[in-house]
């Protein structure tokens, strides 16, 4: 079982088949129901950490700082890091230590019981959030009544493009592409029906699979057309390491979500 400790002080559309879908332009085995908390934060950020000593401080600070109008907790799961990452987690709200390296999906599922926020978002330890982006997603969810909100992702490193996800037509999710939605915030209640999945091929695709689970469960999303997430795409990162086994990931995705993922 994971062990928990408090950190020490150390240095244009929705995902529903609805022609009147909403876009907000803000510039113009399941666990039991989660218990209530006194004075909970608005948002819980879940962060798996594995050998991220060079980036995790920036990732945590991007969530804890410069987020106007919302309160945030950062819940970290240290996935048996071997590079001293555990010494860089002082700004986290709480820390779970995994007994062995289990991958990001297992870390995220282990953190569910620690959530106290109204809304939830995941953040990889080598990525970072755009200032005030959490408030934008929070406001979209609050005003729309939808179940999840998603924004844009800026890639850095091997690729340097801006990914602006669009909602596809009926039964054509992502037009057969396997682009993932990284910048997704959802209501805490969604975790009563959805969990992160570890693929047979490895530790990737859990975020994309989770969004498909949201859709299959009947949850509805709203697009927020602005930059939310900065994604560090490096040769040593998980996304790049997945490429040799991408066909295996895709096959399992099609098996798990035959109505949503095209061949």
**Chain segment 121-155, per-residue pLDDT in tens:** 999 999 999 999 999 999 999 999 999 999 999 98
191: tokens are 């975790």
Domains of the chain: 39-256 (3.90.550.10)
pLDDT band for position 17 (50/70/90)?
very low
Q: What are the C-alpha distances in Å from 184 to residues 1, 141, 153, 181, 248?
A: 28, 11, 10, 6, 25
The pLDDT score that the predictor gives to residue 20 is 37
Torsion of CA 237, 242, 243, 246, to 10 degrees: -160
Residues in the chain: 263
Whole-number average pLDDT of the chain: 81
4: tokens are 């928990």
The CA distance from 206 to 105, in Å, is: 6
Q: Out of 170-179, 180-189, 193-202, 231-240, pick the least confident.
A: 170-179
How do residues 50-102 score in pLDDT, each as one tens digit?
999 999 999 999 999 867 889 999 999 999 999 999 999 999 999 999 999 99
Asked if the model's pLDDT at residue 165 lies above 90, the reply is no
């Amino acid at each position: 079982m994971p062990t928990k400790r408090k950190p020490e002080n150390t240095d244009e559309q929705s995902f529903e088949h609805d022609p009147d879908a909403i876009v907000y332009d803000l510039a113009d085995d399941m666990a039991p129901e989660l218990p209530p908390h006194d004075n909970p934060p608005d948002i819980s950020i879940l962060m798996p950490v594995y050998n991220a000593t060079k980036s995790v401080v920036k990732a945590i600070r991007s969530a804890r700082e410069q987020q106007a109008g919302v309160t945030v907790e950062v819940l970290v799961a240290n996935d048996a890091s071997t590079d001293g990452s555990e010494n860089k987690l002082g700004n986290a709200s709480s820390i779970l230590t995994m007994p062995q390296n289990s991958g990001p999906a297992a870390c995220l599922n282990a953190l569910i019981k620690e959530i106290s926020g109204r809304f939830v978002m995941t953040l990889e330890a080598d990525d970072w959030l755009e200032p005030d982006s959490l408030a934008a997603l929070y406001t979209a969810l609050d005003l729309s009544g939808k179940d999840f909100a998603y924004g844009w992702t800026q890639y850095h490193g091997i690729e340097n493009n801006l990914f602006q996800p669009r909602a596809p037509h009926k039964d054509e999710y992502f037009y057969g592409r396997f682009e993932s939605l990284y910048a997704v915030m959802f209501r805490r209640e969604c975790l009563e029906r959805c969990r992160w999945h570890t693929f047979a091929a490895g530790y990737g695709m859990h975020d994309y699979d989770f969004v498909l689970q949201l859709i299959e469960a009947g949850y509805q999303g709203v697009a927020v057309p602005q930059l939310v997430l900065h994604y560090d795409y490096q040769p040593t990162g998980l996304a790049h390491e997945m490429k040799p086994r991408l066909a295996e990931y895709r096959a399992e995705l099609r098996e798990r979500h035959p109505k949503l993922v095209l061949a």
